[in-house]
Amino acid sequence: MTTRGVESRRAAVLGSPIAHSLSPVLHRAAYVELGLTGWTYDRFEVDEARLPGFFGTLDASWAGLSLTMPLKRAVIPLLDEISDTARSVEAVNTVVLTDDGRRVGDNTDIPGMIAALRERGVEKTEEAAVLGAGATASSALAALARICSGPVTAYVRSEARAAEMRGWGERLGVEVRTADWAGAARAFDAPLVIATTPAGATDELAASVPGSPGTLFDVLYDPWPTPLAAAWSGRGGAVLGGLDLLVHQAVLQVEQMTGRSPAPLAAMRAAGEAALRSTGA
């Protein structure tokens, strides 16, 4: 997807809360590396009620938007088209404004998760476990639909959440088994564990990490490392964090919004790491 041939372009990340977002750091680093001196990338505090009004302000200078919670589903009615990937989980995290003024939505979290795992040598797995059942968990299931040949066990806190995850499994073509959160430590028997829970939710599980764990993908990046990630790494397991996901999904966003490929993965990751160090994360 190409962008309009003008020097000065705008992009931004929207969400609420948004002040913590590292997206501006990553995208701006990409613009520097790509020589896009006229491009800007900002953040805007926008909730669901304000989203339609914000869209009404978009003019030809805008190249694209990144979306975080709570906007990933709220944005869909405002778009002209969404990709099959975004439709599969009913969540859009990327909007590209095309040359003809159309608003096209995509989800780069799913291929970003796959790319992050591939970078660490995880291309296929026979089974997996997912901790949690929110929006990120559905994206994890969509990613696992492409790389997992066997069952995925989701550890959740309620039967309603369990039913939701089984429903996503049916929709995405993944064999999803559900288990109560009280037994979440059993997830660590799987060769791949994806933790999609909020900060603090898995801290109590850190003491249960086995002696020779597989791969953990903990989607948090601040604070980092989480107690679970630290314990996992300490026992010799491979660990991916939220920055890995954030960088890989941002790479895909930059490529879509700018029409330039490949985006500078190394420079974006370095910028993100430096930003986290500066905040003490």
Domain chopping of the chain, boundaries: 9-106+246-280, 110-240
pLDDT attached to residue 134: 85
pLDDT attached to residue 1: 39
Q: What is the pTM of this model?
A: 0.93
Domain made up of 9-106+246-280: CATH architecture:
3-Layer(aba) Sandwich (3.40)
Q: Are the CB atoms for 140 and 113 separated by under 8 Å?
A: yes
Q: Do domains 9-106+246-280 and 110-240 have the same CATH topology?
A: yes
Annotated catalytic residue 124: no
The phi and psi torsions of 218 (rounded to 5 degrees) equal: -100, 115
> CB under 8 Å to 85, separation ≥6 — which residues?
106, 107, 110, 111, 142
Spell out the per-residue pLDDT of the chain, length 281, in tens.
Answer: 344 444 789 999 999 999 999 999 999 999 999 999 999 999 999 999 999 999 999 999 999 999 999 999 999 999 999 999 999 999 999 999 998 999 999 999 999 999 999 999 999 999 999 999 988 999 999 999 999 999 999 999 999 999 999 999 999 999 999 999 999 999 999 999 999 999 999 999 999 999 999 999 999 998 899 999 999 999 999 999 999 999 999 999 999 999 999 999 999 999 999 999 987 64
Q: What is the DSSP letter of 42?
A: E
Quickly tell me which residue has 């989607």 as its tokens: 219
The enclosing H or E element of 40 equals: strand 39-45
Give the closest residue to 249 by CA, choosing from 265, 260, 261: 265
> CB under 8 Å to 84, separation ≥6 — which residues?
none
Cα–Cα distance between 86 and 106 in angstroms, integer? 5
Residue 184 in 3-state DSSP?
helix
**Helices in 56-108 by DSSP H: which ranges?**
84-89
Q: What is the DSSP letter of 267?
A: H
The enclosing H or E element of 9 equals: strand 9-15
**Helices in the chain by DSSP H: which ranges?**
23-34, 51-55, 84-89, 109-119, 135-147, 159-172, 227-234, 242-258, 265-279
SS3 content of the chain, % helix, strand, coil (to 5): 40, 20, 35
Q: Tell me, which fold does domain 110-240 have in CATH? A: Rossmann fold (3.40.50)
Q: Which candidate in 9, 10, 28, 72 is catalytic?
A: 72
